[in-house]
């Protein structure tokens, strides 16, 4: 008997183990299969619940056709049985090293029910022709909530169905629902909302805050590319290496700062660009001037710059007298003279390029080198021009805005919301790259970008925080790199030093004239 013990599959020890509760070990494969079949059935019920009524018939027909086809194939039923067994084993496997079902705690169930009750006044109606309504005052959240996720006890993702009669094409109606969801999911965070109008699905995702400690620095870009700021990693397919503020301070002190890759919002200019000009509108102190300074420092790497400082605050005096800066003007007379020169220069470039093409020659370098025209707060100068009976400086922008792409002239205009109504039709019509900065409402974002913001209100809006849209593309979250005025003593010294390091070398004393 002893010589058969090593090869016996059923020994006394096994019998004892089974008698002491080892039956569960023996039946474990069956339990896994049963659990997997249950989960597959739950997935099927969830798919059936979220399938629109008009698609249920075609779906059943497709499933029946597939079943008949499998039945007629050689060994079809056997292969189908094996596939079902494999799927059941996969979905019934132990997760995290223990056999456990995905259950919700009492607090999480209460949060989902609270969100459902908050949506009932907007999604319910008395007579629903579909029979049992998705949203009712005595209903439950299981039919309306397709998927959900919690992190640290708070909702991090929510996918809900809404009735087909809801006007999801109207921005105002969307905004009401987004505000309700953001309030019930927890304030103090920023949420992204994605509306699937074809399937009547709304997805809400809690977003991580954008990085705010990235100062101005030489970004890795190609010709005609300008980094406006940084956004979410899922929104763009590109990253650039940057140094954070702490890393730059460490590097400046002799340490080795670590690089990190962040996703940028890249604005492309040039003769083939579809968004050759930029319009920036923000609230007071939101960082519009900082964005203009960042664009100027990047533009000076490959071109020339003309700056018009409308409010005369001196935020661009650091550029005066630098190589590549043709003029920094803050007075009405100087602004008119500089913009009149820009008009003549645009016309000269167009004529030079046209003559070169007629003769089959290459366009001269002075007619295709980038020329940037940067205007900060032009509404102030327009008001002064009307008071003195002089031409509006914004009207002089019509020629470079209309023909700037062909002439290599790029226009950047920055204004505050309080004076946005002073912007002329040309300034509002031609710039197709647009940025909104500051604590803004959904209506303000839509009025500038022509599309709704993908997220709700920002709980705490740091300087340089906003949204960007390039042409007809999606609306992106944006965080502008910190580019303060080097003479601003309220800014961090590391950020001011970073701006000073990017300034071109001086060629003459500051304020020694303008572009002629």
Q: Is 182 annotated as a binding residue?
A: no
Q: Which of 216, 485, 435, 221 is nearest to 328 (CA)?
A: 485
Q: Is 282 annotated as a binding residue?
A: yes
In angstroms, the CA 492 to CA 373 distance is 28
- The dihedrals phi and psi of 59, each to the nearest 5 degrees, come to -65, -45
Q: Is 515 annotated as a binding residue?
A: no
- Report CA-CA distances (Å) from 472 to 275, 374, 431, 469, 476: 10, 23, 12, 7, 12
- Helices (DSSP H) in 361-512: which residue ranges? 365-368, 378-388, 398-407, 425-429, 442-449, 493-502
Q: Is 255 annotated as a binding residue?
A: no
In angstroms, the CA 290 to CA 98 distance is 54
Biggest CA–CA distance in the chain, Å, is 118
Q: Is 118 annotated as a binding residue?
A: no
- Report CA-CA distances (Å) from 170 to 20, 34, 52: 66, 47, 22
DSSP 454: S
Q: Which of 149, 293, 103 is nearest to 215 (CA)?
A: 293
Q: Which of 193, 155, 166 is nearest to 456 (CA)?
A: 193
Q: Is 288 annotated as a binding residue?
A: yes
Q: Is 287 annotated as a binding residue?
A: yes
In angstroms, the CA 19 to CA 31 distance is 18
Q: Is 333 annotated as a binding residue?
A: no
Spell out where 310-392 has E strands.
Answer: 325-329, 371-376
DSSP letters for 312-349: ---TTGGGTTBTTEEEEE-SHHHHHHHHHHHHHHHHHH
Angle at the Cα of 499 from the Cα atoms of 512 and 302, rounded to 5 degrees: 70
* Binding residue positions: 282-289
* Binding residue positions for ATP: 282-289
């Amino acid at each position: 008997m002893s010589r058969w013990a090593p090869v016996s599959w059923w020994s006394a020890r096994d019998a004892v183990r089974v008698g002491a509760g080892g039956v569960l070990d023996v039946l474990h494969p069956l339990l896994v299969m049963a659990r997997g079949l249950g989960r597959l059935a739950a997935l099927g019920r969830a798919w059936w619940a979220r399938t629109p009524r008009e698609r249920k018939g075609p779906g059943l027909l497709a499933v029946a056709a597939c079943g008949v086809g499998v039945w007629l194939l050689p060994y079809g039923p056997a292969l189908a049985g094996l596939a079902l067994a494999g799927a059941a084993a996969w979905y019934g496997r132990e997760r995290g090293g223990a056999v456990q079902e995905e259950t919700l705690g009492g607090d999480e169930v209460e949060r989902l029910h609270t969100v459902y009750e908050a949506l009932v006044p907007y999604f319910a109606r008395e007579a629903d022709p579909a029979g049992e309504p998705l949203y009712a005052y005595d209903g439950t959240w299981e039919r309306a909530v397709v998927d959900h996720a919690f992190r640290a006890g708070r909702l991090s993702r929510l996918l809900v169905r809404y009735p087909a009669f809801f006007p999801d094409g109207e921005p105002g109606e969307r905004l009401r629902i987004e505000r309700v969801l953001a309030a019930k999911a927890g304030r103090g965070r920023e949420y992204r909302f994605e509306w699937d109008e074809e399937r009547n699905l709304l997805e809400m995702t809690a977003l991580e805050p954008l990085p705010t400690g990235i100062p101005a620095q030489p970004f890795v870009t190609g010709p005609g590319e300008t980094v406006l700021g940084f956004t979410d990693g899922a929104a763009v397919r590109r990253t650039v290496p940057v140094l954070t503020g702490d890393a730059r301070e460490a590097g400046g002190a002799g340490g080795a700062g670590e690089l990190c890759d962040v996703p940028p919002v890249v604005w492309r200019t040039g003769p083939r660009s579809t968004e050759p000009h930029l319009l920036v509108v923000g609230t007071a102190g939101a960082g519009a001037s900082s964005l203009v300074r960042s664009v100027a420092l990047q533009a000076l790497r490959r071109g020339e710059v003309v700056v018009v400082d409308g409010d005369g605050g001196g935020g661009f005096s650091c550029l005066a007298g630098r190589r590549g800066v043709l003029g920094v003007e803050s007075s009405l007379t100087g602004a008119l003279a500089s913009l009149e020169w820009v008009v003549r220069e645009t016309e000269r470039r167009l004529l030079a390029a046209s003559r070169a093409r007629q003769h089959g020659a290459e366009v001269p370098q002075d007619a295709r080198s980038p020329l940037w025209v940067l205007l900060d707060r032009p509404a102030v100068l327009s008001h002064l021009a009307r008071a003195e009976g002089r031409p509006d400086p914004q009207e002089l922008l019509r020629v470079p805005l209309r023909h700037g792409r062909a002439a290599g002239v790029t226009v950047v205009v920055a204004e505050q919301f309080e004076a946005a109504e002073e912007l002329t039709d040309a300034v509002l019509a031609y710039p197709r790259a647009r940025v909104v900065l500051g604590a803004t409402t959904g209506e303000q974002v839509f009025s500038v970008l022509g599309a709704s913001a993908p997220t709700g209100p920002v709980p705490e809006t740091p300087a340089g925080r906003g949204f960007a849209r390039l042409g007809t593309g999606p609306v992106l979250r944006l965080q502008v790199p910190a580019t303060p005025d080097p003479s601003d003593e309220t800014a961090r010294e590391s950020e001011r030093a970073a701006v000073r390091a990017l300034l071109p070398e001086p060629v003459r004393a500051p304020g020694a004239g303008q572009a002629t």
